[in-house]
Each structure stands twice: as structure tokens, then as C-alpha cells.
Chain A
Amino acid sequence: AQKVTQAQTEISVVEKEDVTLDCVYETRDTTYYLFWYKQPPSGELVFLIRRNSFDEQNEISGRYSWNFQKSTSSFNFTITASQVVDSAVYFCALSIPNRDDKIIFGKGTRLHILP
């Protein structure tokens, strides 16, 4: 069975600090996709990144970066120089292609950026 664990329920940091959101996943499949989504107070999910299991390169997009390590089954997300607008709930998720394509979400981490 597949599972995504986000151990940090809630994090608060002061603006401009860096913050890392942890994600650990479980699957026996060798081919899978990992995702990060942002859910602001409006509720709409914002897609941030998708990474397939064969691509372990780290990704950087502006202030956002992702560290994928298959050896520890982790896909961590770091926000550098955080801003108040980064306040949201962040979900890590997993899907298995060519099976049912269901996206399995972690429980989410609520991030508060304090001014």
C-alpha cells in the first residue's frame, strides 16, 4: 500500500527565515510520481511540482527547492527567505502511474509565516 507522511502538522517561522517541510513516502512500486501542492485559505490547490521516481535531481524554482532522496524515501520542500504570502497548507502526495493514478495525499503541513 502507498502512504505519505508529513510529520510536521504546523510550523511557524518569522518572515525571511528558511523553512523545510518534510515528506516521507512508502510504496513498493519502482515507478511513481511525487507531488507538492499548496492550499491557501481560498481552498484552491496550487500545483508546485511533480517528480518521477527516476529523476533524483534536486529542483529549484525561485525561492522554492525540493530534495528527493530515494534512499530515505523522502521528498522535502524548502522555502528560502519566506514571505507572508507563503502562509498556507502544503501537501505532499504520491501516485502510481499505469495502475489507478489516484493521488494519495499526506495530511499536510500548515505553515504560518509571521511578519
Chain B
Amino acid sequence: GAVVSQHPSWVICKSGTSVKIECRSLDFQATTMFWYRQFPKQSLMLMATSNEGSKATYEQGVEKDKFLINHASLTLSTLTVTSAHPEDSSFYICSARDRDQYYEQYFGPGTRLTVT
């Protein structure tokens, strides 16, 4: 089956620093990737939709200058949390839509970010 990886699986950083999270589709090409954020005991909230070669589309209330998304290739999207603060601590999950099987979307294992 299709696999989506995320790196790192967990990260601890100091307040004010930036953190980059990678999302890769390992055995398929993804024209679209989605980034979600999940706070403890809450649901997944879509942050942004990332299309290969174009700017990401952010959901209302998500600061695009704080959460930088780059989708430079058909297998890689990155989310950079800039100037992280403790309130950015969360579980970040990406999903990737298979270019060849349009309706199939696969989720990565998630990245747990802790900002101290």
C-alpha cells in the first residue's frame, strides 16, 4: 500500500527557533498534500493545502507567515514553524493525495512538536 512518511517523528525546540517538518510520499506521486494540526484530545484541524509547484492555500485563522509550506516536488512537502512558541506545541499530520488514484489520500504518522 501507499506510504507517507514524516520526519522527524518528534522534535523538541526552544521558543523562538524554527522547526522544519518533512512529509514524503514514498511510492507514489502526490500533486496535493494537506497539513493538519491536532491538539491533545482534540480533532484534526486542516491548516493548509499544498499543491506541487504553487503556493499553499491556508485555512482561515492560520498564519501563513508563521507556518511556511513548500511543496517543491511531487513527493515532498515541508512545513516550517517559524519563531515557535509553546502554544505551537502540537501533533502535526500530513496527508498526500495520489496523483494517479485521484480519490486516494494517505496519512503520515505525524510529528509531535514540543516547544519549551
Contact = CB atoms under 8 A, between A and B. Distances in A.
A43 B43 contact: no
Interface string B13-35: 00000000000000000001010
B107 to A, nearest CB: 4
Contacts of A108: 42-43
Contact of B105 (A43, A101, A104): A101
B103 to A, nearest CB: 6
Interface string B72-116: 000000000000000000010101010000110111011010000
A101 B107 contact: no
Kindly state the interface size class of chain B when it binds its partner. 20 to 34
**Chain B's interface: helix, strand, loop or mixed, by majority?**
strand
A45 B103 contact: no
Given A102-B34, A103-B34, A45 B107 contact: yes
Contact of B43 (A50, A95, A106): A106
Interface string A22-64: 0000000000010001000011110100100000000000000
A105 interface: yes
B93 A102 contact: no
A45 B106 CA distance: 9
B11 interface: no
B46 interface: yes
Contacts of A103: 34, 46, 95, 105
Nearest to A110: B41
7 contacts: A43-B110, A45-B107, A47-B106, A97-B102, A102-B49, A103-B34, A105-B44
Interface of B: 32, 34, 41-46, 49, 91, 93, 95, 97, 102-103, 105-107, 109-110, 112
